Structure 1
């Protein structure tokens, strides 16, 4: 059987012209380690020069927005037209809605956690300063110097009924030498010793996206999210009621996208951030003009030539339609790698920039 899914009319205007503001992820979208992702810097500079504001939203709670901004400027991102929001700021904003100004909050994590609490009008108290001081909440974020004593204190406070807020629940953190334990892994350690569970504000929860959209001053239909992780960026955009552009320059690959559940399916897909200035093809668009076919053995048969953007859209929508209908789609890694090569999609580990 052949699934024939493509587009009725291919749009010609750039995707960026359909939205008033962009919420953009960082790692895997703008940079990988210390190196900029190909096309990212020039795309961002063009985007802000054309008048679309950008808010970079990151789950990384350990660094301050100023530190993140310095890194972006060091890569060549223009000075104006963008800002940074972090999951620490989302945690602080959440608590500021529920606590009085100046309320004492135990801060566990990197410098960004305490700074965000201070900016929100709260009083951060480090575990080393805690003593007999009573706190009204505890915020747990990632920090490279987080100790056993600090994690134990989070557990003691949470078990005693103190509101426990976690900046994010990512189990891993990408580093130049591989994946390291993320804040989610540290949360799991605390949960083994307590019956409590934290209130999580970072992706894929809506809070960080709501904070970023408030910074942009845009409504939901006028806001686009760009990210490279289906389980945080895209699922979070959907939970916040926002359209999204999924890019294949980071953590998740084409096979992951093909097998994504409905809650983690993006509106658009592109090889990298430059797709923002291409005629974006919505992944829900269909017609009878097939460009990619799913064979009876559940393997895709690709045409020898065609527009890569349309082929990419067709592969994804065909896989989704098949899986939603209960049909098999091959998950063979080598077959998906072949499709990526044909579409000119270079895995991050093979990228030279």
Structure 2
């Protein structure tokens, strides 16, 4: 759908009205832990009220969709117009296509893992309940109570020939206190002790996007992905042939975005989900009015005034154009910190500008 958008039409309508369905990440996009990301809930309620359905697709496999739904309700998300799918469901769907109904599968992770296996017609078994019995497969997902014994069991089973499915391989997870180890960190730990490799179903693999899009009932060209991780949400959307909106409210920074390789570059960028309601051009638009000069410090030179949303897009477009042309752009933290403060992405420290 991107190729059909002209500069004039892009400025005349909000981003979300160009699509018939939205696949939206959760952690770092809608909430961080128990708290909502600013402007996220209000935006989502306006989107669903306008008739655009939303499927929340998350790599976090620790909780069931119902549990996630309860959390969203408590945050104030309207009760209709959306549903939740997670990587546990994608893992269960993968195994259900390959195993007989009722097959025993070891479930490691939060309650969402076992719940998804049961709903797919398989029999989940916790590591502690295996005893001397065998299982055909093991699903490893994130859980705050995952133990060393469970991780060791994943390795034992994989080495013995069981199908090892990892719900996702996100190395970190955003929390109100900062980044915490994600499921990918635990998968990597198991990999140090086994020669087996897991089959991964979560983002950036296509399985979760296809599951979400089937819920929406939309074509690829009519589906927009929104996320905060370049390596999962955005790279996955690109590989699945879907347009994407990258938001700077979660795991990846403006500097990460500016230096992103082509496979991880989004179609659009915004500070947070409210960008769905703003008219904006695709980030890769390189018309002269979208570009800034590179200053003597080899980073975009910021004007003294201007709308932050448009300046954000211009910074990213400028750096991508420079890098693609073989020009040098500085990765020094100091200048990029000043740009982020200028755009309101971080709060300046007392006594600084």
**Range class of TM-score, shorter chain:** over 0.9
Quote how far apart the aligned CAs of 1:191 are: 1.1
Quote how far apart the aligned CAs of 1:297 are: 4.1
Does residue 246 of structure 2 align to residue 240 of structure 1? no
Q: Which residue of 2 aligns with 1:45?
A: 45
> Could you give the per-residue CA deviations for residues 209-260 of structure 1, whole angstroms, max 9, x where no partner exists?
1111111111111110111111111111112111000111122121111001
Q: How does 1:77-92 map to 2 (within 5 A)?
A: 77-92=77-92
SS in 2 for 1:107: strand
Alignment size in residue pairs: 344
SS in 1 for 2:170: coil
CA distance in 1 between partners of 2:110 and 2:200 (Å): 17
Q: Which residue of 2 aligns with 1:4?
A: none
Quote how far apart the aligned CAs of 1:182 are: 1.8
Does residue 239 of structure 2 align to residue 250 of structure 1? no
Q: Which residue of 2 aligns with 1:286?
A: 286
SS in 1 for 2:215: helix
SS in 1 for 2:128: helix
Q: Which residue of 1 aligns with 2:192?
A: 192
SS in 2 for 1:47: helix
Q: Which structure carries more relative contact order (alpha carbon 8 Å, separation 6+)?
A: 1
Q: Which residue of 2 aligns with 1:230?
A: 230
Q: Which residue of 1 aligns with 2:27?
A: 27
- Is the contact made by 1:291 and 1:303 (CA closer than 8 Å) also made in structure 2? no
Compute the RMSD of aligned alpha carbons.
Answer: 1.9
Quote how far apart the aligned CAs of 1:285 are: 1.4
TM-score between both structures, scaled by the size of structure 1: 0.93
- Is the contact made by 2:15 and 2:277 (CA closer than 8 Å) also made in structure 1? yes
Q: Which residue of 2 aligns with 1:318?
A: 318
- Is the contact made by 1:234 and 1:264 (CA closer than 8 Å) also made in structure 2? yes
SS in 1 for 2:288: coil
CA distance in 2 between partners of 1:180 and 1:35 (Å): 16
Q: Which residue of 2 aligns with 1:301?
A: 301
CA distance in 2 between partners of 1:132 and 1:307 (Å): 64
- Is the contact made by 1:250 and 1:348 (CA closer than 8 Å) also made in structure 2? no
Q: Which residue of 1 aligns with 2:69?
A: 69
CA distance in 2 between partners of 1:20 and 1:347 (Å): 35
CA distance in 1 between partners of 2:289 and 2:174 (Å): 40
> 1:218/1:154 Cα in 2 relative to 1: closer, same or farther (>3 Å)?
same
> Could you give the per-residue CA deviations for residues 139-178 of structure 1, whole angstroms, max 9, x where no partner exists?
1111122222221211111111111000011122233333
Q: Which residue of 2 aligns with 1:262?
A: 262
Q: Which residue of 1 aligns with 2:172?
A: 172
CA distance in 2 between partners of 1:135 and 1:54 (Å): 36
Does residue 333 of structure 2 align to residue 333 of structure 1? yes
Q: Which residue of 2 aligns with 1:218?
A: 218
Q: Which residue of 1 aligns with 2:182?
A: 182
> 1:348/1:267 Cα in 2 relative to 1: closer, same or farther (>3 Å)?
farther
CA distance in 2 between partners of 1:222 and 1:145 (Å): 39
CA distance in 2 between partners of 1:349 and 1:166 (Å): 41
- Is the contact made by 1:88 and 1:112 (CA closer than 8 Å) also made in structure 2? yes
> 1:179/1:285 Cα in 2 relative to 1: closer, same or farther (>3 Å)?
closer
SS in 2 for 1:204: coil
Structure 1: unaligned runs, 5 residues or longer: 1-6
- Is the contact made by 2:39 and 2:272 (CA closer than 8 Å) also made in structure 1? yes
> 1:291/1:69 Cα in 2 relative to 1: closer, same or farther (>3 Å)?
same
Quote how far apart the aligned CAs of 1:341 are: 2.5
Quote how far apart the aligned CAs of 1:11 are: 2.0
CA distance in 1 between partners of 2:348 and 2:112 (Å): 28
CA distance in 2 between partners of 1:76 and 1:57 (Å): 18
TM-score between both structures, scaled by the size of structure 2: 0.93
CA distance in 2 between partners of 1:139 and 1:177 (Å): 28
Structure 2: unaligned runs, 5 residues or longer: 1-5
Quote how far apart the aligned CAs of 1:40 are: 0.7
CA distance in 1 between partners of 2:89 and 2:348 (Å): 29
SS in 2 for 1:289: helix
